[in-house]
Amino acid sequence: MMRAIGLMSGTSLDGVDVALIDTDGTALKVARTENGFIEPLGPTGYRAYSDEERALLRQALVDAEKIEARDERPGCLAEAEELVTRSHAEAVEAFLAENGLDPGQIGVIGFHGQTVVHRPDQRMTIQIGDGQRLAARLGIPVVYELRRADIEAGGQGAPLVPVFHRALAEASGFAGPLGILNLGGVANVTLITERGDLLAFDTGPGNALIDDWMRERTGRPLDDGGRTAARGRPDGALLAWLLTHPFFARKPPKSLDRNWFSHKLAGQLSTEDGAATLTAFTAQAVARALDHAPEPPLRWIVAGGGARNGELMRLLNYHLRTEITTADAVGWSSAYLEAQAFAYLAVLSLLGLPITFPSTTGVREPLTGGVKALP
Ligand SMILES: Nc1ncnc2c1ncn2[C@@H]1O[C@H](COP(=O)(O)OP(=O)(O)OP(=O)(O)O)[C@@H](O)[C@H]1O
Ligand SMILES: CC(=O)N[C@H]1[C@@H]2OC[C@@H](O2)[C@@H](O)[C@@H]1O[C@H](C)C(=O)O
């Protein structure tokens, strides 16, 4: 068994998620509760970005549009990369102190970094953050650049979490057909068939459009509980038009960059109707995943911050036409699932085991990935 920490800073730009797990690289070490679900995998932590830090990261996404080669850092990107490395180091230092852990007790850190560019057609994906400096500051080996080998070999470079979803489903004793939905800034699904085969892809926007809309209209960072959307009425014509985007009909594998869809599409609508339209768009884009499902899932598990948006969950319940539960309700962690996944992926990487597959990223054969930095 190895003890690993995973670090995720997702497309919502809210902060750094930290999670600790124990794994041998195939099975997860789990304990069971009385009702048969698994106990939490390990402690978790969070380091929020301040408003200024978030503004710098937002600007980094804009400046990154100019990048033509992966090592370029135009505009504020060098400063943003420094922020990403430092904030992750602070997150781990606080986490170790809170949990009474020493760096020597941690075998590896899986470091996602912050995605600023994701262009599978150009075989380029960039997650800023300096893994070597992080390893040196913390005194712990770090595995980073986990998307790079896949995208350079012709895969989508995303999603990477399906192999962890499958390990969690196995640890929980859940049989397929099962759907696991992550509602982050972008939404992605993992479909597990009865035989245990995986199919995974991004479904479209997650919370990003709703967040951007709320920020522009109200100055608030999100639609808490989906209450604004619940007060509005979706614009049917706009919704129908949004769903004609060719991305939804495209066969998987497929992945998205955060900025491929824009909240500005809701244009002239009232705050409530715009939120309702973008929330309905997100839910119906997820439901289009059923068009590609080899077996329609009998059960859906929903993770990511969007699981806390009651209106989005209500619409998903309707459109997915079957039982949906939050990850928290089955003993998984809605908020820290991705951080846990990156801990797991780092261990797979150290062992040289595959992290991506033809059915998850479209890479030609199962492939390991990640770059290892020693302290
Ligand atoms: N109480 C809430 N009500 C509505 N939405 C919420 C609530 N709490 C969190 N969210 C949504 O969840 C988002 C954060 O989700 P999460 O942390 O899963 O995203 P991420 O990890 O950054 O994204 P990704 O999975 O795309 O990398 C917030 O930006 C917000 O939109
Ligand atoms: C390029 C990139 O950072 N993609 C993220 C993003 O956020 C959700 C979705 O789009 C997913 O494809 C991916 O993250 C998760 C962790 C993944 O790779 O599985």
Q: How far, in Å, from the CA of 186 to the mean position of ligand 2? A: 7
Pairing label, strands 142-144, 108-111? parallel
What pLDDT does residue 175 have? 87
225 within ligand 1 shell (Cβ under 6 A):
yes
Known binding site: residues? Answer: 10-17
Q: How far apart are CA 96 and CA 316, in angstroms?
A: 37
Q: How far apart are CA 99 and CA 214, in angstroms?
A: 36
What pLDDT does residue 67 have? 97
* Model confidence pLDDT, tens digit, residues 61-78: 999 999 999 999 999 999
* CATH of region 2-158+339-373: 3.30.420.40
* Residue with CA nearest ligand 1 atom 14: 305
Phi, psi of 255 (to 5 degrees): -140, 165
Q: How far, in Å, from the CA of 231 to the mean position of ligand 2? A: 30
What is the DSSP code (8-state) at residue 38?
B
205 within ligand 1 shell (Cβ under 6 A):
no
Residue 306 pLDDT greater than 90, yes or no: yes
* Ligand closest to the CA atom of residue 253: 2
304 within ligand 2 shell (Cβ under 6 A):
no
What are the residue ranges of CATH 3.30.420.40 in the chain? 2-158+339-373, 162-330
Residue 36 pLDDT greater than 90, yes or no: no
Residue 323 pLDDT greater than 90, yes or no: no
What pLDDT does residue 2 have? 95
Question: What distances in angstroms separate CA 91 from CA 17, 36, 97, 226, one per listed residue?
Answer: 8, 32, 10, 29
The whole-chain average pLDDT of the chain stands at 96
Q: How far, in Å, from the CA of 86 to the mean position of ligand 2? A: 22
257 within ligand 1 shell (Cβ under 6 A):
no
What pLDDT does residue 205 have? 95
Residue 264 pLDDT greater than 90, yes or no: no
131 within ligand 1 shell (Cβ under 6 A):
no
Question: For a pocket test of ligand 1, which of 13, 16, 228, 308 has the largest count of ligand atoms closer than 8 A to its C-beta?
Answer: 308
User: Measuring CA to CA, which residue among 184, 190, 181 is closest to residue 319?
Assistant: 181
Q: How is residue 17 written in tokens?
A: 């998620």
What pLDDT does residue 265 have? 85
Residue 33 pLDDT greater than 90, yes or no: no
Question: For a pocket test of ligand 1, which of 49, 218, 255, 309 has the largest count of ligand atoms closer than 8 A to its C-beta?
Answer: 309
What pLDDT does residue 12 have? 86
Known binding site for ATP: residues? Answer: 10-17
Which atom, in ligand 2's list, is nearest to the CA of 182?
Answer: 8
Average pLDDT over residues 210-228: 96
CB 10 within 8 A of CB 338: yes
Residue 43 pLDDT greater than 90, yes or no: yes
* Residue with CA nearest ligand 2 atom 1: 118
Question: What distances in angstroms separate CA 279 from CA 211, 244, 302, one per listed residue?
Answer: 10, 16, 16
* Model confidence pLDDT, tens digit, residues 238-260: 999 999 999 999 999 999 988 88
Question: For a pocket test of ligand 1, which of 88, 127, 188, 207 has the largest count of ligand atoms closer than 8 A to its C-beta?
Answer: 207
Kindly report which listed range (80-94, 254-268, 348-362) carries the lowest average pLDDT score.
Answer: 254-268
Which atom, in ligand 2's list, is nearest to the CA of 157?
Answer: 1
305 within ligand 1 shell (Cβ under 6 A):
yes
What pLDDT does residue 258 have? 84
CB 6 within 8 A of CB 38: no
Q: How far apart are CA 295 and CA 191, in angstroms?
A: 8
* Residue with CA nearest ligand 2 atom 11: 159
Which residues have a Cβ under 8 Å from the Cβ of 88 and sit 6 or more positions away?
Answer: 7, 9, 16, 47, 111, 129, 134
* CATH of region 162-330: 3.30.420.40
